[in-house]
């Protein structure tokens, strides 16, 4: 076969060196079923390609991780509230001091 030439669909997929694990499946059967994209039904036939069904799906966050993140946010928010109140009080004291000095 010449480079760029389309292979004969009657060839068995197992006869192609790069498709060794898919031996015994005709190329037309494989391509027809791949067009349907029903990977669950083809699971046994396409077991070497099982990872394709998982692509694009993010792993679900573990509940404890979500709880830890929420707890961390609460602690940080409380610290920020305390720091903001302290900053406002300092500013108010400085303003009051400057007003007393200028009078």
Q: What is the pLDDT of residues 82-96, one digit of tens each?
A: 999 999 999 999 999
Give CA angle at 65 (62, 69), nearest 5°: 145
Instruction: Give the global pTM.
Output: 0.38
Name which of 9-18, 44-53, 66-75 the model is least confident about.
9-18
Q: What is the pLDDT of residues 1-48, one digit of tens each?
A: 556 666 555 554 445 455 555 556 666 766 666 666 555 555 555 555
SS3 call for 16 = coil
**pLDDT greater at residue 80 or residue 12:** 80
Is the distance from CB of 1 to CB of 14 less than 8 angstroms?
no
Query: What local confidence, expressed as pLDDT, does residue 13 receive?
Result: 47
Listed by start position, the domains of the chain span 13-54, 60-103
């Amino acid at each position: 076969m010449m480079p760029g030439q389309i292979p004969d669909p009657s060839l068995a997929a197992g006869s192609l060196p790069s498709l060794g694990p898919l031996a015994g499946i005709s190329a037309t059967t494989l391509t027809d079923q791949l067009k349907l994209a029903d990977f669950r039904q083809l699971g046994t036939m396409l077991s070497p390609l099982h990872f394709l069904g998982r692509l694009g799906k993010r792993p679900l966050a573990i509940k404890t991780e979500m709880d830890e993140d929420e707890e961390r946010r609460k602690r940080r928010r409380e610290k920020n509230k305390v720091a903001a109140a302290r900053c406002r009080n300092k500013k108010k004291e400085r303003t009051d001091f400057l007003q007393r000095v200028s009078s």
